[in-house]
Structure 1
Amino acid sequence: MQLFERHNLGHGFRKYFEIAPAITESQRNDVYRIRHEVYCEELHYEPERADRHEIDQYDPHSLHCLIRTSSAPKQLVGCTRLVLTDPGDPLAPLPFEHTCAATLDRSIVDPARLPRECIAEVSRLAVRGNYRRRSGEAKAPVTISENDFGSESRPRFPYIPIGLYLGSIALAARSGIDTVFVLTEPRLASHFSKLGVEIRQIGGPVEHRGIRVPSMMDVSTVIKNMRSLVRPIWRVVQEEIERGFEESAGGRSLTG
């Protein structure tokens, strides 16, 4: 992270992007349209739908957030969601519990034995094609690679995917979630370690739109151990998520 010593990542994020919780019907429709564009039309992970909204059974008990460009005209960039357990059926599995039922190492953690109201899963990260610049990103909804961090002479930072993950952590923290699960490509842990974020693999790989591994993050530990150079972008993301809830409670729309 030495290459970022002269850069305030919070200022950098705010210069190009803004993040907000998707609370209103209009905002959630923006989320569903981005997901349809990426998951259905571009990657064909899901069937295309006449209304161009990609929605599933987990969305009614999920929290969503959006990233868009900060300069006018504001453009939608990407989205993610935090799937909470179903309040009407708390024992109903989260998505990864279905996908990884045979590969989870329950000696590390057994999600079924945790307080269900205190766990959640990050899923449905999606970045629109115009913002997945490199050719290798065309076949994935969102990626983080070694090249995203640049070099000493040409520093770079993956604002969009990191912003989405931090947005999920902010949603989790304000919702009383202790443990966040995520199903990702195997190399994610090494990239997150650059940020001081500990993500622990909790089972063997599965085939799910490519090789994926189930992992977990402790929300309070992530926030506590975040590297000092990353804290400015975390503060920006956390402040914008909180402001979005406050403005929504006051009757103002975040999408204009």
Structure 2
Amino acid sequence: MSDLIAAFNKYFEIIPANTADLKNQFFHLRYQVYSQELQLPGFESWRYPDGREIDKYDKRSVCCLLRHQPKGFIVGGIRLVFCDPDDPFQPFPIEEHVGHHFDTQLIEPAQLPRRTTVEVTRLVISRQFRNRGREIHYAHGLDDSSFGNKSDKRRQFPHPVLGLLVALVQMSSEYGITHWYAGMEPALNRLLRRFGFNLKPIGPLVDYYGIRRPYLDTVDNVLTRVFQKKRDIWDLVTDRGRIWPVSKEWTAKQLSTNS
């Protein structure tokens, strides 16, 4: 077992939020981070009198929580928004808010496999784990200070966001997902590149709960990049290829190149 996998198994546990209690823990964490700590526009506390941040997309979403095993508390969570099962051409959140800014040379939403596309949203880390440098200013808790030198013993696992990426791949495998949408600050996409998880931009910077850019990529493309550049992380998020093998197209290309 690799050191990374051993560290993950020691410190974290993925928990599908598939009960009312677990979903409420996620909604409350979102409220704490977005409404109380960061006080983001559009997430004002008065909108959520019961202390739960919920929107209309939660009805067609699945989510996972990340639990800190030694202490038992929730570290963070992540949500996947699916297409509307009754009308797949109803827009995803990013299409509804900024779809008119998409580069039509790069994407045509109607041509996407709607039922196997999701939007990755509400990637959030609790305050206890956003505690280096300027991490506290971001719901996802990633900035350059997140990647300290190896002598820094305050964090034994690279970053909790990596645990949420494990959850992302597990959920995507379970539901047969092929494409990931996301709206992110370019800095977050750049930082995710350190894990090999950066996505392709499909439009300009827009105001989408702050200045963000729309992104889209296939799961195969992303995980193949992870395999090529960050093999230890690929081993972790795919359980050494058990839940998501290397894409057949890439393998065939390598065999052809080396023959």
TM-score (norm 2): 0.81
Q: For 1:51 and 1:63, how far apart are their aligned partners in 2?
A: 21
Does structure 1 conserve the Cα–Cα contact (< 8 Å) formed by 2:146 and 2:159? no
Q: CA deviation at 1:64?
A: 0.3
Match of 1:246 in 2: none
Does structure 2 conserve the Cα–Cα contact (< 8 Å) formed by 1:8 and 1:232? no
Match of 1:56 in 2: 55
Q: CA deviation at 1:192?
A: 2.9
- Counterpart residue type for residue 206 of structure 2: V
Q: Map 1:23-102 to 2 at 5 A.
A: 23-45=18-40, 46-48=43-45, 49-72=48-71, 74-102=72-100
Identical columns (%)? 32
Q: CA deviation at 1:212?
A: 0.9
Q: Once the two structures are superposed, what CA deviation does each residue of 1:144-191 show, in whole Å capped at 9, x if it has no partner? A: 223322236558754311221331232122211110011111023333
Q: For 2:44 and 2:242, how far apart are their aligned partners in 1?
A: 36
Q: Once the two structures are superposed, what CA deviation does each residue of 1:186-219 show, in whole Å capped at 9, x if it has no partner? A: 0233333333335111110112343211112211
RMSD, matched Cα: 2.5
- Counterpart residue type for residue 75 of structure 1: F
Does structure 1 conserve the Cα–Cα contact (< 8 Å) formed by 2:165 and 2:237? no
Secondary structure, aligned partner of 1:150? coil
- Counterpart residue type for residue 76 of structure 1: I
Does structure 2 conserve the Cα–Cα contact (< 8 Å) formed by 1:170 and 1:237? no
Does structure 1 conserve the Cα–Cα contact (< 8 Å) formed by 2:204 and 2:213? yes
Q: For 1:186 and 1:113, how far apart are their aligned partners in 2?
A: 25
Q: Which runs of 5+ in 2 are unaligned?
A: 244-259
Does structure 1 conserve the Cα–Cα contact (< 8 Å) formed by 2:75 and 2:129? yes
- Counterpart residue type for residue 47 of structure 1: E
Match of 1:206 in 2: 206
Match of 1:137 in 2: 135
- Counterpart residue type for residue 92 of structure 2: L
Secondary structure, aligned partner of 1:66? strand
Q: 1:20 aligns with which of 6, 15, 31?
A: 15
- Counterpart residue type for residue 112 of structure 1: A
Q: CA deviation at 1:236?
A: 5.6
Q: For 1:238 and 1:89, how far apart are their aligned partners in 2?
A: 33
- Counterpart residue type for residue 68 of structure 1: R
Q: 1:234 aligns with which of 228, 237, 249?
A: 237
Match of 1:114 in 2: 112
Does structure 2 conserve the Cα–Cα contact (< 8 Å) formed by 1:14 and 1:236? no
Q: Which runs of 5+ in 1 are unaligned?
A: 1-6, 241-256
The size of the alignment, in residue pairs, is 233
Q: For 2:127 and 2:51, how far apart are their aligned partners in 1?
A: 16
Does structure 1 conserve the Cα–Cα contact (< 8 Å) formed by 2:79 and 2:123? yes
Q: For 1:176 and 1:190, how far apart are their aligned partners in 2?
A: 26
Q: CA deviation at 1:239?
A: 8.8
Secondary structure, aligned partner of 1:13? helix
Does structure 2 conserve the Cα–Cα contact (< 8 Å) formed by 1:166 and 1:237? no
